[in-house]
Amino acid sequence: MYIVTAGEMRAIDKATIELGLPGRILMENAGRGAVQILLEKFPGISAKKIGILAGRGNNGGDGFVIARHLSQKGIDVIVYLLSEITAVKGDVLANLDLFQRFGNPVVEIPDRITFDANRTFMSNRDAWVDAIFGTGLKSDIKGYIKDIIVFINSLKKPVLAVDIPSGIDSDTGQVCGEAICAGITATFGYAKTGHYLYPGAGYSGEVEIIDIGIPPLVTGRIDPKQHLLDDEIVSSYLKPREKNAHKGTNGHLFIVAGSPGKTGAAAMTAMAAMRAGAGLVTLGVPKSLNPAIEPMILEAMTCPLPENTEGFLSESSFDAIMHNLAGKKCLAVGPGLGTDSSTKKLVIKILRETSLPVILDADGLNLLAGEIRLLKKLKIPVIMTPHPGEMARLTGKNISDIQEDRISCARDFAAEFNVHLILKGAGTVIAHPDGRVFINPTGNPGMASGGMGDILTGIIAGLVAQGYPVEEAARIGVYLHGRAGDDLEESMGPFGFLASDVLKSIPAQIGRILTASCPSC
């Protein structure tokens, strides 16, 4: 599913209008669709008193259309215009005039004095429609409008946001000073990236997309670069197995992982790859750890590797690793590997010499910090799976800078270094070298515990080993991983489930999606 930036949405609207569909019709379609959502999602709303906060821009114009349709249904509605009427122009003014022509009230609130005078009356409204600011907001909200937003949030009344909650940056999901907290957001044409990036996702509530009549050919010309992962997309990638499949046809993965105190990370990565369907998995670990790891992974194989005196893998392991890569389809490097200096030299040497697709995670990423220019020289597909802290180490940026614009950070890195980058966290971002970005809506806070990243790495590596293109494997893996966590949240509780529980749920998620897309499969 496409999700768009504010700039892309402006271009889509402009191209649609140029084709001959007037902006006022788009506004009418938007407002009428929002009313339908309001009536469907807020039971009993027809008997309630509704307040509409309208700005003087197009978002306010949508608000006036909504108000008119509600009034025509006999619903008690008042529009509070956060401006003087004389400042309203164009299609917005036309819809304001039409609303008033039907005998409906518009209360002008251009300043703090008028807000204070109306505060008591506003508190008596049962529900609110937020039509103050649209998708173009970039600067912080200040003054009395900020006070109004704080006031509306304090009422704890049902709120429907028009297009995006006022105060949310539609591209980054960041809060611009203060933001409306909506239960439902009715967005027009396409969802916006800020609906699915935190903190914006937490303010948007349930997002409903309204078809306002944008022709598909227009969207095709604009070609938005952002997508939201869903069952439909993922099911288009997943393939049922042939009846005569065997372990040799489902790929062989090699994993370089493990160090003293971190044997669990290595074991979980191997088992997750098996759960994702890899035919064979070999786990390369420091030889002193092999006796402890072998009992953990009954179905996968282990390869004891030479180690340094501290028990970490080092350049002495290189020849054995390269020998064992013969016949493999994928290489995963990093889970529980440690950050010893000798291990760093090994990882860099492996990246320079291997011809296999590589998934880099955890300590594999930390070891690459300071050496990321190496990525530009590689001819192999590379998937990197950093969380924000690891991304900060890779880029030299602050975590806060990364979190403030996750899409741009991931997209720029993927393009510059020709990698497929998975920036983990709430609303995981998957960025590809060609500029395409996929946002993942699955997953939950209960997954914020140790080992979850190792499971994700194993799923993705297991898919690549089976022959899935790296970009598809990244998207499938992230989506399935989150789906497994969501099912556990529902069945076990909001937190307390373990990475090993997610591990066991992976086949069920694969089966669910395959069955939905192909019941005979």
The CATH number of the domain holding residue 53 is: 3.40.50.10260
Instruction: Round to whole Å and give the CA distance between 208 and 188.
Output: 9
Q: Which residues of 66-104 are buried (b: 16+ CB within 10 A; e: fewer)?
A: bbbbbbeeebebbbbbbbeeeebeebbbebbeebeeeeb
Co-location of 178 and 278 in the same domain: no
Co-location of 67 and 115 in the same domain: yes
Co-location of 327 and 436 in the same domain: yes
Instruction: Round to whole Å and give the CA distance between 64 and 92.
Output: 8
Co-location of 269 and 408 in the same domain: yes
pLDDT, tens only, 117-131: 999 999 999 999 999
Co-location of 47 and 169 in the same domain: yes
Give the pLDDT score at 519.
63
% of the chain beyond a pLDDT of 90: 95
Q: Which residue has 């510059």 as its token pair? A: 416
The pLDDT of residue 514 is above 70 = yes
Co-location of 266 and 414 in the same domain: yes
- With DSSP H G I counted as helix, E B as strand and the rest as coil, what are the percentages for the chain, rounded to 5? 50, 15, 35
The pLDDT of residue 520 is above 70 = no
The pLDDT of residue 186 is above 70 = yes
Give the pLDDT score at 218.
94
Co-location of 11 and 140 in the same domain: yes
Instruction: Round to whole Å and give the CA distance between 503 and 458.
Output: 10
CB 136 within 8 A of CB 130: no
pLDDT, tens only, 448-465: 999 999 999 999 999 999
Give the sheet arrangement for strand 49-54, strand by strand: 106-108, 76-81, 49-54, 127-131, 159-162, 184-188, 206-210
User: Which of the listed residues 179, 208, 224 is the one where a domain comes to its end?
Assistant: 224
Residue type, 255: I
CA separation (Å) from 422 to 31, 80, 195, 277, 331?
Answer: 37, 44, 19, 21, 17
The pLDDT of residue 280 is above 60 = yes
The pLDDT of residue 516 is above 80 = no
Instruction: Round to whole Å and give the CA distance between 287 and 266.
Output: 13
The pLDDT of residue 518 is above 80 = no
Q: How confident is the model at residue 475 (pLDDT cuts 50, 70, 90)?
A: very high
**Segment 201-225 mean pLDDT:** 95
The pLDDT of residue 55 is above 80 = yes
The pLDDT of residue 521 is above 70 = no
> Distance from CA of residue 288 to its chain's centroid?
40
**Segment 25-38 mean pLDDT:** 96
Instruction: Round to whole Å and give the CA distance between 73 and 65.
Output: 13
Co-location of 209 and 302 in the same domain: no
User: Which of the listed residues 182, 207, 224 is the one where a domain comes to its end?
Assistant: 224
pLDDT, tens only, 461-472: 999 999 999 999
Co-location of 88 and 219 in the same domain: yes
The pLDDT of residue 85 is above 70 = yes
Give the pLDDT score at 235.
95
Query: Residue 466's domain is classified under what CATH number?
Result: 3.40.1190.20
Q: How confident is the model at residue 515 (pLDDT cuts 50, 70, 90)?
A: confident
The pLDDT of residue 401 is above 60 = yes
**Segment 483-500 mean pLDDT:** 97
The pLDDT of residue 517 is above 70 = no
Domain encompassing residue 248:
231-517
Co-location of 280 and 407 in the same domain: yes
Which tokens belong to 21?
Answer: 């569909």
pLDDT, tens only, 300-346: 999 999 999 899 999 999 999 999 999 999 999 999 999 999 999 99
Arithmetic mean of pLDDT over the chain? 96
* Lowest pLDDT segment from 38-47, 159-168, 272-281, 283-292: 38-47
Please spell the DSSP secondary structure of 120-139, one letter per residue: HHHHT-SEEEEES--TT--S
User: Which of the listed residues 224, 252, 276 is the one where a domain comes to its end?
Assistant: 224
Number of domains into which the chain is organized: 2
Give the pLDDT score at 136.
87
Cis ω for the linkage preceding 199 (within 30 of 0): yes
Q: Which residues pair with residue 228 across a beta bridge? A: 439
Give the pLDDT score at 43.
87
Co-location of 263 and 316 in the same domain: yes
Co-location of 8 and 120 in the same domain: yes
Instruction: Round to whole Å and give the CA distance between 434 and 454.
Output: 27
**Segment 383-408 mean pLDDT:** 96
**Segment 350-357 mean pLDDT:** 97
